[in-house]
């Protein structure tokens, strides 16, 4: 029985070096000197979305600009966010390693990244600071490198509209997140960067709360992944992106945190 091309794990790197077979997705973008002999386990049986991303040639990938990031969030097309192909490959490898070493990604995030001994909220939404922690997104999306991508983790639930097919937030919860982001991040944006803050109420009239998060001076924006897009389903978080924020402010608000991806040398291939 002939081996199907949909079973990449049975072929070796030697066959591809000899030009006997077309380059498969698991070798795309990887320098030939780093080709594995077989398809890594973390790249077998991957979802169509993951396959689509890592199949993009790295040289053809375009990082989103700040206006494009804003438009993606304003139009609620957050499923269009994706990592650069090699970053996504490293992300998949990293996630597989976390599951192997820590039992689950959730256990790692709770115990190592958030350092929370429990997930019991002390108060209602945004009432107690101890129920909230701000850290970097370990594997940020493919956005302009002047944009800082943070995650705000919460012990309390972020209520979703049960009738929304994507599991989007309720208008009430969006309003609470708006207020928190305005207070926590907007209050520390330099005055010259908030000259358009008076437009926020008008923007909310133009774009309903279920579609757009806070846009303060075009420098801060937030979103929450739809329920179907979440990588960790049992813990709550939303994303905050800031364009050219003050470095000291970011260091202060994250308590000196740094993303896992920043610890890799340029062009490192995991797995």
Q: Residues 40, 268, 254, 215: is their CA dihedral positive or negative?
A: negative
Q: Is residue 129 part of a domain?
A: yes
Q: Quick one: pLDDT band at residue 13, thresholds 50, 70, 90?
A: low
Domain shared by 32 and 123, yes or no: no
Domain shared by 158 and 197, yes or no: yes
Of 60, 76, 103, the position where a domain reaches its end is: 60
Of the listed ranges 45-54, 57-66, 198-207, 251-260, the one predicted with least confidence: 198-207
Domain shared by 139 and 206, yes or no: yes
pLDDT at 204: 47
Domain shared by 149 and 190, yes or no: yes
Q: Quick one: pLDDT band at residue 79, thresholds 50, 70, 90?
A: confident
> Rounded CA gap, 130 and 67, in Å?
34
pLDDT at 12: 55
Statement: residue 95 has pLDDT above 90? yes
Quick one: average pLDDT of 78-87? 94
Helices and strands (DSSP H and E) totals, the chain: 8, 4
Domain shared by 49 and 71, yes or no: no
When mean pLDDT is compared over 32-36, 49-53, 233-237, 243-247, the highest value belongs to 49-53
pLDDT at 56: 95
pLDDT at 211: 34
Domain shared by 50 and 147, yes or no: no
pLDDT at 201: 45
Share of the chain above pLDDT 90, in %: 60
Domain shared by 145 and 34, yes or no: no
Helix (H, G, I), strand (E, B) or coil at 64: strand
Q: Could you tell me how far CA 32 lies from the centroid of its own chain?
A: 29
Of the listed ranges 209-213, 233-237, 248-252, the one predicted with least confidence: 209-213
pLDDT at 232: 53
Higher-confidence residue of 241 and 228: namely: 241
Q: Is residue 251 part of a domain?
A: yes
Domain shared by 73 and 159, yes or no: yes
pLDDT digits (tens, 9 = 90+) for 194-218: 333 334 444 444 444 333 344 444 5
Of 60, 78, 93, the position where a domain reaches its end is: 60
Q: How many other C-beta atoms can be found within 10 angstroms of the C-beta atom of residue 36?
A: 14
Domain shared by 129 and 200, yes or no: yes
Of 60, 88, 103, the position where a domain reaches its end is: 60
Higher-confidence residue of 214 and 45: namely: 45
Beta strand segments in 72-146, E: 132-136
Quick one: average pLDDT of 221-231? 74
Statement: residue 4 has pLDDT above 90? no
pLDDT at 203: 46
Statement: residue 222 has pLDDT above 50? yes
> CB–CB of 159/224 below 8 Å?
no
Q: Is residue 269 part of a domain?
A: no
pLDDT at 234: 66
Domain count along the chain: 2
Q: Is residue 166 part of a domain?
A: yes
Range of the domain at 233: 66-263
Domain shared by 209 and 238, yes or no: yes
Q: Is residue 238 part of a domain?
A: yes
Cα-Cα-Cα-Cα dihedral of 78, 238, 119, 250, to 10°? 140
Q: Quick one: pLDDT band at residue 186, thresholds 50, 70, 90?
A: confident
Across the chain, what does the average pLDDT equal?
82
Q: Is residue 271 part of a domain?
A: no
Domain shared by 176 and 241, yes or no: yes
Domain shared by 77 and 182, yes or no: yes
Statement: residue 157 has pLDDT above 90? yes
pLDDT digits (tens, 9 = 90+) for 106-116: 999 999 999 99
Q: Is residue 106 part of a domain?
A: yes
Q: Is residue 3 part of a domain?
A: no
């Amino acid at each position: 029985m002939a081996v199907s091309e949909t079973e990449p794990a049975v072929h070796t790197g030697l066959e591809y070096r000899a030009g006997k077979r077309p380059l498969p997705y698991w070798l795309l973008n990887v320098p030939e000197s780093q080709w594995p002999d077989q398809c890594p386990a973390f790249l077998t049986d991957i979802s169509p979305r993951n396959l689509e991303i890592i199949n993009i040639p790295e040289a053809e990938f375009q990082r989103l600009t700040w206006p494009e990031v804003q438009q993606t969030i304003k139009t609620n097309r957050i499923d269009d966010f994706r990592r650069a192909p090699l970053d996504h490959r490293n992300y998949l490898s990293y996630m597989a390693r976390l599951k192997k070493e820590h039992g689950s990604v959730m256990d790692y995030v709770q115990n190592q990244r958030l350092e929370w001994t429990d997930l019991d909220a002390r108060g209602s939404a945004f009432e107690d600071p101890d129920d909230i922690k701000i850290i970097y997104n370990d594997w940020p999306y493919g956005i302009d490198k002047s944009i800082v991508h943070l995650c705000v983790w919460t012990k309390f639930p972020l209520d979703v509209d049960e009738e929304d097919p994507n599991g989007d937030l309720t208008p009430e919860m969006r309003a609470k997140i708006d207020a928190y982001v305005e207070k926590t991040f907007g209050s520390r944006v330099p005055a010259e960067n908030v000259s358009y803050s008076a437009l926020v109420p008008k923007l909310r009239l133009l774009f309903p709360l279920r579609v757009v998060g806070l846009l303060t001076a075009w420098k801060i924006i937030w979103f929450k992944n739809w329920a179907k897009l979440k990588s960790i389903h049992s813990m709550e978080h939303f994303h905050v992106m800031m364009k050219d924020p003050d470095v000291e402010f970011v260091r202060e608000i994250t308590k000196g945190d740094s993303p896992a991806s920043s610890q890799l040398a340029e062009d490192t291939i995991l797995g």
